Each structure stands twice: as C-alpha cells, then as structure tokens.
Amino acid sequence: MHSSIAAAMFAAMWVIVFAALTASAAPLPSLSSTGTPIKYLVIIDDENVSFDHYFATYPIATNPPGQPRFTPLVNTPSVNNIAGVIATQNLNLANPFRLDRSQDFTCDNTNFYMNEQQAYNGGLLDMFVQFTSPINPKDCPMIPNLPLGYYDGNTVTALWNYAQYYAMSDYSFGTNFGVTVVGHLNLVSGETHGATPDVAGRVINGTVIKNVEAGFDNCDQRVPVKMSGPNIGDLLTNAGVTWGWFYGDFGNVNGECNPDYNSHYMPFQYYQSTSNPAHLPPSNPFVIGSNKDQANHQYDLSNFWTAVSFGYMPQVTFLKAPSDSTGHPFTSGPLEEQTFLVNTINRLELTPQWRSMAIVITYDDSDGWYDHVMPPIVNQSSDPDQDRLLGPTGLCGKAAPGAYQDRCGYGPRLPLIVISPWVRSNYIDHTLTDQTSLLRFIEDNWNLGRLGDPQSFDLKANPITGMFNFRFPFAPRLFLNPSTGTIVEPRPW
C-alpha cells in the first residue's frame, strides 16, 4: 500500500475513534483550580529502564536496513549520553553495546537495593556485570554482559520521536536504589519508610528495600506489607480533586482475581486509606475518579477509557499497562511497551482535554541496566548489612541522627518525557529531578501542600516546570505508528 494512502487511513481511523468516544459524552464536570494551564495530568509509569538503556546514543541511531529509520530534527539539542564514555571512562568488564530490534525479549537483570549500589561502586560505575547480571536465568536468551546492553532509535523509535517534539530530561533519577515497589512507593508518597512488619531481606528498619506485596489487597497476599503515613491520593481526596490509578490487570475476571495481577503495580493498595482490597469496579462511569465510589480510586485500565468516553477523565491519572506491555524485561519488552504507549498517547491527543493536558512517561526503576552518570547522593544511609555504595565494606555516607535508614538515594538515572501542548518542543532539561518531582508538581499545581513527613523526598525535590512553556501552547499533536514508532505523515503541526 502506498505510504500516503496508509497514512490517510491511519489518521482516519483515529478520527472515527474520536467521534465514537465523544458522541455520547456527558458535559464535562467542574474542575479544581490549578496553578498552571495543566488541568489534566496523566502519568504513564513503565518498568525497569535506565536512561542509557534507551537513550545511550540519542539522537544518533544505527539505522540498519529493514528497521524503522530515525533521522533527528535539525538543531536537536545534545544529551548526556555515552559518547566518549566507551573509549575514555568505561571501566566495566565490557563496553556498552547495542541490542538489536530483534532482541527486544531479554532476561531480567538484578536490581536489588544492595546490588545496584555495588554496581555503582563509589562512583566508578564499573561493577554492573558482577552485581546486576541476571540471577539463574532460564527461558530467556543468554546475552553476555547483559546489563551493558542498550537500544537505539531503531527499536525505541516512538520514545525518540516523543523526545524530538516534546521535552525530555537527561538528569532525572530514581529516588532510591532498588526495585519496582521502592519506585512506586516513592512516586505516590515520597517515602519507603513506615512499613510493617519487618521481613528478612525485604523490609529492614521499617523500610522497604525489595519487592513485597500490598497489605490491603485480597488478590496478592504472598508477603503482605502495610504502609503508614499519607500519600498523594490522600491529599487529592481531601482537596476534592478527581484522581485514580488504573492498571491493566486489576479487574477481576468472572468474579475471580485476574491471574496476571501483581500488586507491585498498585502502590496505593499498600495504604488502607486508598485501597480497594476486593478490586470492586466503579458503580457507574460518572463517579470514576471521585470520592463517592466503592472503587476508592483504584481501577482497571478499561475504567479509565470508560471515564474518558463519558467526558469524566480524572484530573490526576496514573496509568499502568498490563504486565505484558510495561517494558519490564522477561515479561515484556520495548516493542510491546511502544505499542501500549503509542496507542494510549494517540488516543489521549484526540480528547477534548488535550489542550490542557500533560502526559508524563516515567519509570519505576532501572532494572540494573548500566547508566554512566553517578547520581547525586542527597540522602545518606548507613546500614552495615545493606548499604554498599562506597565499596565492598562501605556505606552510603553517614545518616543523620534519627534519619530513616535504607533509603540511599538518589538512585539510577531514569528516562523522563513530558508530552503536552505546553512543553518546550525538542527540548532537553538538565534540572536535577527525581520521581518525587512529579509529586511536587501535583502538590503545587493543585495547591495541596506537602505530604507532611519531614523526611519525605518531596521536600527535597526540584520542580519539572522548566520543561514547560506556559506562555503559549506551541507543541504539536504527534501521532505515531504503534508498531514502528514512526511519525504518521503528514506531520501534524
């Protein structure tokens, strides 16, 4: 099929989808006031990627024959990538290497709190192969020195194109070293401390350091742990701002728990105040996101699109793909992630809310993938059993008296992209940020105040507002092909 005809058909498909979505939409509900033009925030939280793993050579792709081609825009700004690092600074057992598009399925690396610190080795960043390589891999391809592998714009093509037309940070970090649950708890509360009970090797000194299951969840009770203290959902609820966390495997199937459900992907289920233990569905489309429903802001992903179709998109939305589309190695991969991201973003850009929306693509942790940038350590920890950042017997600095232990951070550098009419187009932000910088944006934009724990990381977080241009919504709607990640012609300015 001729490319222009295919593009026209692709664009027409989205017009039809948009018409179907809005034909029976109810009047838009009243909105809580905001400090910026952003009235709707959508955070897409994907899995287990370091910045270098996806952007090590950005904006230069290899462009082998037969793969989606990437050509950067003129005047694309430079990022802090691995150019020059391989020849002059890399001290690992091997050099970083390109993973081909045909290698989108890989083993899962080791990304525990202690292991990641050991890999960074006091700032030398030279022990990734020894400490974050997969443990006892099976049923996955054996790739030597796997943690040093990276993809380029021929595989993560959509993300590179989003970086071209919207804003990306090259200096954003996980709040702590560690795994999925650590990243998710920081994203919603700025805090991994306050966990009960202690669990050997997983919850130490009241702090989560390895994956455990949500304590207020009837569908996943392997190692249930409960969190105390407030989260951002509590602040949004108290302020009357509509919000929700939507996960693709949350909904029950024929009255039973979804067999693919994983409570690691539902951080609000660790807090009693924001939990939906029985996975109850919303009672009707018009209460999705509100404070007046049995679902208590915890939903299946399908419920989000139901709310959108009726014109009731929550003002603050967290989206989590089904487990097979998050990008998490072994259970997913970058191509499955790309399909989910592009389909989701294409659809969001066709909603009436688009002109006052910001979409954030962020990640929970690095999966132990190599990144050449040493994170600034803004929070020290001195647990002799778990902290190893400063060498074989070293700690992570010296924690202040009374400080919560086992929260060494910042952790690895992670991708962060903001998509909105209100962002700086083809812009690279070098501001130091972390996962709780998104918390800070929510707190400030909706005038919620802070979470209240004097050791919560939202108090330290820098803002993401430097990625925006609030004077004029200039950035285009960019529609991509979900299979290839390439731009659908004509380019929609």
Secondary structure (DSSP) of 294-334: TTTTEEEHHHHHHHHHTT---SEEEEE--GGGS--BTTB-H
Q: Is the pLDDT of residue 354 over 70?
A: yes
pLDDT one-digit tens code per residue, 172-212: 999 999 999 999 999 999 999 999 999 999 999 999 999 99
Give the chain's radius of gyration (CA, Å): 21
- φ, ψ dihedrals at 272, nearest 5°: -60, -40
Architecture of domain 3-55+156-380+409-467: 3-Layer(aba) Sandwich (3.40)
Q: For the chain, what percent of residues have pLDDT higher than 70? A: 92
**CA distances from residue 125 to 99, 111, 172, 373, 380 in whole angstroms, order as listed:** 20, 14, 17, 8, 18
Q: Which H or E run includes 44? A: strand 40-46
pLDDT one-digit tens code per residue, 378-388: 999 999 999 99
CB contact at 8 A, 119 and 375: no
Instruction: Report d(CA 160, CA 61) in Å as an integer.
Output: 10
Q: Is the pLDDT of residue 88 over 80?
A: no
pLDDT mean over 130-145: 92
Q: What is the pLDDT of residue 136?
A: 80
Instruction: Report d(CA 132, CA 118) in Å as an integer.
Output: 9
pLDDT band at residue 120 using 50, 70 and 90 as cut-offs = very high
Nearest-CA neighbor of 240 among 287, 291, 274?
Answer: 291
Quote the strand ranges of 175-276, DSSP E.
Answer: 195-196, 203-204, 207-208, 213-214, 224-227, 243-247
Residue 389 token pair: 């950042």
Preceding peptide of 59 cis, ω within 30°: yes
**CA distances from residue 225 to 29, 194, 204, 277, 452 in whole angstroms, order as listed:** 37, 10, 12, 13, 22
Total count of residues recorded for the chain: 493
pLDDT band at residue 227 using 50, 70 and 90 as cut-offs = very high
Q: What is the pLDDT of residue 152?
A: 98
Instruction: Report d(CA 117, CA 158) in Å as an integer.
Output: 31
On the CB side of 136, how many CA atoms lie within 13 Å of its CA? Answer: 0
Q: What is the pLDDT of residue 492?
A: 52
Instruction: Report d(CA 58, CA 221) in Å as an integer.
Output: 42
Q: Is the pLDDT of residue 22 over 60?
A: no
Domain map of the chain by residue range? Answer: 3-55+156-380+409-467
Nearest-CA neighbor of 272 among 237, 312, 322?
Answer: 237
If you search the block for the tokens 């459900």, which residue do you land on? 261
